[in-house]
């Protein structure tokens, strides 16, 4: 009798679990199943800043797509694990994602570097193979930040002086300006270093154009060097 009750309870539990899983799978487009390999990869990619090289912006336009369309690859696109470049200990790892737009299958690749805080995306042309790029050239735009309002920090030697120089009271305001205006100078960056360097340029509401050398440190974008017109007026710690 006791065993029958246990079996019945297990059946109810299993039935509820299956119904809940089906509900999540179909109604939340699989995004709630964080244990699935595809969602683990997407969450990792979305945990980085998404960067789009300038040449890719032209390709997006040529295919009638927007930056929001490009981001949507990470929401409900399908990862082709067989076609991805994900060899162990080889970077960047490159994930191939397919999505249909206006009845046509479009392919995109996202490069994941070992110690960079950016993920570089590309739209693949018809017949173009997925490929690794150790270091891009030219400029690229930041088109999406992770959902983290405290992602930007500065070297302590710059801290007090920068908060005085910039029109900010706290770092999330810096991040807000960076989100809207940041470009990455690939020519002056090195994504393959053990501590990858990303050279950025963004527009500050008070100082104008700012060039910043950054790294990924303790899960934050760490600014350790800046240049801007008139910086000699703020000599403390600025190098």
Both tokens assigned to 41: 């990869």
Cα separation, 176 vs 169, in Å, equals: 12
pTM, two decimal places: 0.81
Which pLDDT belongs to residue 12?
59
Which pLDDT belongs to residue 238?
45
Which pLDDT belongs to residue 121?
97
The full set of domain ranges for the chain reads 37-126+133-141, 148-233
Cα separation, 130 vs 89, in Å, equals: 18
Which pLDDT belongs to residue 25?
47
Both tokens assigned to 63: 């295919």
Query: What backbone torsions phi and psi does residue 226 show, to the nearest 5 degrees?
Result: -135, 155
Give me the residues of the chain with pLDDT under 50, please: 24-30, 237-239
**148-233 CATH fold:** YaeB-like fold (3.30.2310)
Mode of pairing for the β-strands spanning 220-228 and 208-217: antiparallel
Cα separation, 119 vs 112, in Å, equals: 5
Both tokens assigned to 227: 């240049």
The number of C-alpha atoms within 13 Å of 73 and in the hemisphere containing its C-beta is: 27
Cα separation, 233 vs 177, in Å, equals: 22
């Amino acid at each position: 009798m006791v065993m029958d009750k246990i079996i019945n309870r297990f059946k109810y539990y299993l039935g509820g679990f299956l119904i809940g899983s089906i509900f999540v799978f179909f109604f939340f487009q699989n995004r709630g199943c964080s244990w699935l390999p595809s969602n683990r990869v997407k969450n990792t990619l979305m945990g980085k800043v998404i960067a789009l090289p300038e040449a890719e912006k032209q390709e997006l336009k040529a295919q009638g797509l927007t930056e929001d369309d490009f981001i949507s690859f990470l929401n409900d696109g399908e990862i082709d694990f067989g076609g991805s470049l994900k060899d162990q200990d080889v970077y960047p790892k490159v994930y191939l994602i397919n999505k249909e737009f206006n009845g046509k299958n479009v392919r995109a690749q996202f490069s994941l570097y070992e110690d960079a805080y950016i993920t570089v995306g590309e739209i693949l042309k018809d017949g173009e193979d997925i490929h690794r790029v150790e270091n891009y050239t030219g400029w690229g735009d930041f088109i999406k930040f992770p959902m983290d309002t405290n992602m930007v920090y500065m070297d302590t030697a710059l801290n007090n002086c920068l908060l005085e120089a910039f029109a900010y009271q706290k770092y999330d305001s810096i991040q807000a300006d960076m989100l809207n205006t940041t470009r990455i100078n690939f020519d002056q960056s090195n994504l393959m270093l053990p501590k990858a360097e990303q050279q950025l340029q963004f527009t500050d509401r008070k100082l104008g154009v700012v060039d910043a050398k950054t790294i990924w440190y303790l899960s934050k974008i760490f600014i350790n060097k800046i240049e801007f017109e008139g910086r000699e007026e703020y000599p403390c710690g600025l190098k």
